[in-house]
Chains A and B, each alone.
Chain A
Amino acid sequence: MASLRCFLRSGKNAVSAALRREFHRTPPAAVQVTVRDALNQAMDEELERDERVFLLGEEVAQYDGAYKVSRGLWKKYGDKRIIDTPITEMGFAGIAVGAAMAGLRPICEFMTFNFSMQAIDQVINSAAKTYYMSAGFQAVPIVFRGPNGASAGVAAQHSQCFAAWYGHCPGLKVVSPWSAEDARGLLKSAIRDDNPVVFLENELMYGVPFEMSEESQSKDFLIPLGKAKIERPGNHITLVSHSRMVSLCLDAAAVLAKEGIECEVINLRSIRPLDTEAIETSIIKTNHLITVEGGWPQFGVGAEILARIMEGPAFNYLDAPAVRVTGVDIPMPYAKILEDNSVPQIKDIIFSVKKTLNV
């Protein structure tokens, strides 16, 4: 187990980590882990912990995962627990839901969430609604996971963000991790949760390394679903974001800090349940709000946040209208210059902050 973890860890730390491990047999203090490896380790540990957990999806087994997120798992756990499926989303998503109804705990991978649209009936009508329709008789402990949102140069049919679509439905929990720590703790919580969880990863984040504390490397490190995290405290304005856009918010905040503007950056971590309280507490302090997301503006995550703020106590603390920074309201184009200008850039966030603060 320890050597497997070492093998997976990327970068030059691998060798030194292995050496350290031989001697001490405890995880090193803080270490750099990519989001991909964090997801891999989380799944590995949960597969080991509970016999009922299994993974199915396209190319998850012998190919090691289309994005290598499930690398090494098939070799370790075999055909029974890591299952390659044909390219039949509606069918295998339904099979996964049925298996969850009958006592197993499946992780159903969609190669990207764009393909989940083919199976969305199974996610919503068969998974999300069943516990309610059965008045508490039939639970569905399933995780649907995979990359969501824009990637790089994959064009319109492969770039849609589904946070708002799934976030709309009661009976689902919807999670959107940003960092490696998020990925690890939230995926473990999702797998241990007895309800259907939609776990929205991001392809562009898979290779990004993050420092992970010693605590976060424990096998029982869980991040509760439905709770946001303040990634950067600040006094002047609240930036609320999820997934990859959190990186951009932090970069924008660093630039703005040089001009004396201190942004509080909130990483939502969960889309449903949405941590409204964390946002309200922050607004009461900063009096300004901007939401930042990669998805389309109309009926999006930002739209929901703004509506909730309007309806709640934090409205009285706003010194300016809350606004959203979102993807452009178009299908995703292919050419790099067009694609770059279809999603929020750091300069868009900075611009919006200054407009909101009227500076």
Chain B
Amino acid sequence: MITENPVDITSVLMDESAELSVSVTQIVQRLKGTHLHSQLEKQAKECLHKPEIKLETLKDDVRRLLKASGWERKLQNAVYRELHILPPSGHPRAPPEHTKEPLEYMCKAQVNWEKRILKSLNSMCTELGIPLARKRPVPEQKELTNKWNEMGTDEPGNADTNNLTCSRLHLDVLVGLRNPNNERSEDLTVRSHWGLIQVSLNVRDIPQMREMYPELGLTYGQLGIDDHTHVPPDLFESEHIHIGKKVVSEQDSAAAQQYSRQGCPTGLRAQLWSLILNTTNDPEDITHYEQLKARVINHDLLVDNLIYKDVKLTASNDDYYFVFEDYLYQVLLCFSRDTAVLEHFSYNSATPPKSCIQNKSGSEQCAMVYPPNGVIPFHGFSMYVAPLCFLYNEPSTLYRVFREMYIRYLFRLHSVSSHPSGIVSLCLQFERLLQTHLPQLFYHLREIGAQPLRIAFKWIVRAFSGYLSTDQLLLLWDRILGCDSLEIVAVLAAAVFAFRAENLMEVTSLASAEAVLADLSTLKVMPLLQIFLFATSV
């Protein structure tokens, strides 16, 4: 008789409620260690002194008081945040690597990608003769402290541009992905996929997205459309702003996220995003930031050179973001040293790189994560931070908001995974949308050697930062936060091609196609998205 391990049967039959209780336990566990927990305890204790509390109904009375003073809402927001970054639940027996990324060929590709980046970093180390990390001598520390607010005036150092990984290499990796279980013939047929991404992932099509994101539809008011100059504000804008103010005063994270689907008013956006991401500016956050700053002052990291180079090449040359150069250094240098970021590797398909420290006797010692946050910057990385500088100018707040955005969404744009918001899925979704709804255009571009993804990739990787005008970009990121997904980026990329289809049909080379799509600064994001999602016939 084959005896199954009873535990196996139980786990196979595990139903949703059990899964839920596992999640609840996880969240409770995580929240126990936070500052919020100690604050709640303190508040609860203080409640005991209140005259309204009766011993018989102690629990309920304390709960009631906490609710009235807004602490329950804070707890709700914290739980909501934890739900966002909960690692995917998997089979209890499955090793963590499998829950992060279930598809093996993706895992392998990610590992290879990481190896290449590390190789590049190591060669940079050798070429320039700089150690991965070194302690700054005291005079240098003093100088950096004095110059903290104007690092942009410094020379960037002698980092070679070639060591900054650029998007073309990244795209090549994605193009090379193959699912070994799925043999495809090389013939181009109507049923085959014409694009560069040759793996099959489950990506949403237009009908599914209409269902998922009805608030983007034609019957809902939108900031970015219905706040246009010729539309009377009474129709939508005034009411929307009024609701926004209410959401902010209620301090409700979930409501803010829902609200954001229709866009955030300029005057409220900073608070709303803070609320959605549940970032606060408590003394402990400021202390944490100061600690990171101290780490920057004390130690110089090799990756700092990558940051300097990236900022100088991208943000400093941007017509609007050049002003924020100093902020970018202040955020990114601290970011590299923030070990709290390592938490996100529990659901990121990537693995933080490790460096081996050799002690004096030459034998290798324990491997340490390098850089401390496990994220190696690449060309364009600073563009993730730049739009936020428009909203926040307190360095610690700016830092917190960026970090939270990174560990929730932005990291998916540069690690190989099968997640619906991962870069592979987004690229595939873009291509599928184009092939389904603009087949003539796609075919034409393919024939002239201008694969659409080659042009759109850089937009998608940066979530359009630096390509759209800032007000339009912020409207797009409103929806990313609101819909809790990066799919909207893929849709916009397809919508841009649809918008310029007429001109694109006339070009005869990749260079001319790129020229048609070189300048997106005049585009209005929301009309394009609405038309593509809700006015395309399916």
Query: Do A and B belong to a common assembly?
Result: no
Which residues in B have some Cβ–Cβ distance to A below 8 Å? none
